[in-house]
Amino acid sequence: MAPSVFGKVEGLDLDNIDVTTEEEIDTHLTSQRKRRGPLDPGPLYATTAFSVWLYNRPDLAKLHMRVIQDWSSKGLKSIITASSFANMHTYINQGWLVGIENCTRGLQRSGVTKAQLIEAIMHAQLSAGIRGLQHVYLALGIILGDYVERKEPADWPEAWAPDPDAFKCGMDYSTRELTAQDRKAIFEWYEKNIGEIPRRITFLAKHDPETLKNWRTQYESTFRGALPKQMWPYLSLRHCTVVGDRGGLREAALLAKAWGVSDAYIVNTVIQGAYYFTGWERLDMVAEVLEEILG
């Protein structure tokens, strides 16, 4: 008998891709059904969308689970590699209600507080707009009202910690106009943190300085001390990978590096974005942007 390499996962023999028995399928679907509950909800689509795989192409279901198993074996924190934060962010932008709820339940199970969840939602709102908040309302309206926090806190990567002051550049919030000092403060913040000034910043400073100030105030106010500051570039890395934003991806990667996010987390984040949402071809663009930034 050949040695086991991948083993069995929730009833599925990942070492045997060519043969999947009815017993394997029944065991897997039953395990997912029994997980449905307030403390261990399991994916809402684990007995529906997954069944399309299992009854028609179980080989691809098993290959998918091999990928997931590999991500969890790299020694990275599951709060990041399980990708509930990043996937929720994308689902808010795309409007997939089932996914938003599923990721929220997963985060709740992992010890994420309501304040941390809300900050991630507010980050997504910056790109998803009011439609994104409507998706959140439809998916989480009841859940947010009675969100139960676990006693065990989320397990973050080493040195990841809240730091709301890191976002502040020193603007004068008492004026509506972008003063010369405000402009200087914004430019210096980018030079200090990522070593360059994004073109959109210089564009707005020239053509619509009031909007730049209002937008920058939103940027500085979204994280108020619940989430680690590193979650900002982490979520931005995923979003920019999915939507194909080269400039945003570069900025997110530079900020991630400046704030202590390791290359392993950066790579895992962009790979998962391509795997779940765009196809591997998106990694051509990612590689062009990140090769000079990664070690």
pLDDT (average), residues 27-54: 75
Answer whether residue 43 shows pLDDT above 70.
no
Q: Quick check: 124 and 93 in contact, CB under 8 A? A: yes
- Could you please report the per-residue DSSP string of 184-206? HHHHHHHHHHHSS--HHHHHHHH
Dig out the tokens for 146 from the structure.
């009675």
pLDDT at position 25 over 70: yes
Contacts of 157 (CB under 8 A, 6+ apart): 76, 77, 79, 80, 230, 261, 262, 265
Model-level pTM? 0.93
For the chain, what percent of residues have pLDDT higher than 70?
96
Q: Using a pLDDT cut of 90, give the percent of the chain over it.
A: 86
Beta bridge partners of 8: 13
Please give the helix or strand (H or E) that residue 9 lies within, else none. strand 8-9
Mean pLDDT computed over every residue of the chain: 94
Q: What is the pLDDT of residue 188?
A: 98
C-alpha distance across the termini of the chain, in Å: 42
- pLDDT of amino acid 45: 76
Confidence of residue 128 (pLDDT cuts 50, 70, 90): very high
What local confidence, expressed as pLDDT, does residue 135 receive?
98
144-191 per-position pLDDT tens digit:
999 999 999 999 999 999 999 999 999 999 999 999 999 999 999 999
pLDDT band at 249 (very low <50, low <70, confident <90, very high): very high
Give the residue-averaged pLDDT of 122-151. Answer: 96
Comparing 269 with 40, the larger pLDDT belongs to 269
pLDDT of residue 190: 98
Element (H, E) at 253: helix 246-258
Q: What are the pLDDT digits (tens) for 258-292?
A: 999 999 999 999 999 999 999 999 999 999 999 99
- Specify the pLDDT at position 90: 98
Q: Which range in 30-39, 49-58, 105-114, 252-261 is most confidently predicted, on average pLDDT?
A: 252-261
Q: What is the pLDDT of residue 118?
A: 98
User: In Å, how far are 46, 101, 134, 187, 225 from 52, measured between CA atoms?
Assistant: 10, 21, 29, 51, 42
pLDDT in tens, 93-104: 999 999 999 999
Please give the pLDDT value at position 39: 46
How far is residue 284's CA from residue 272's CA, in Å, rounded to a whole number? Answer: 14
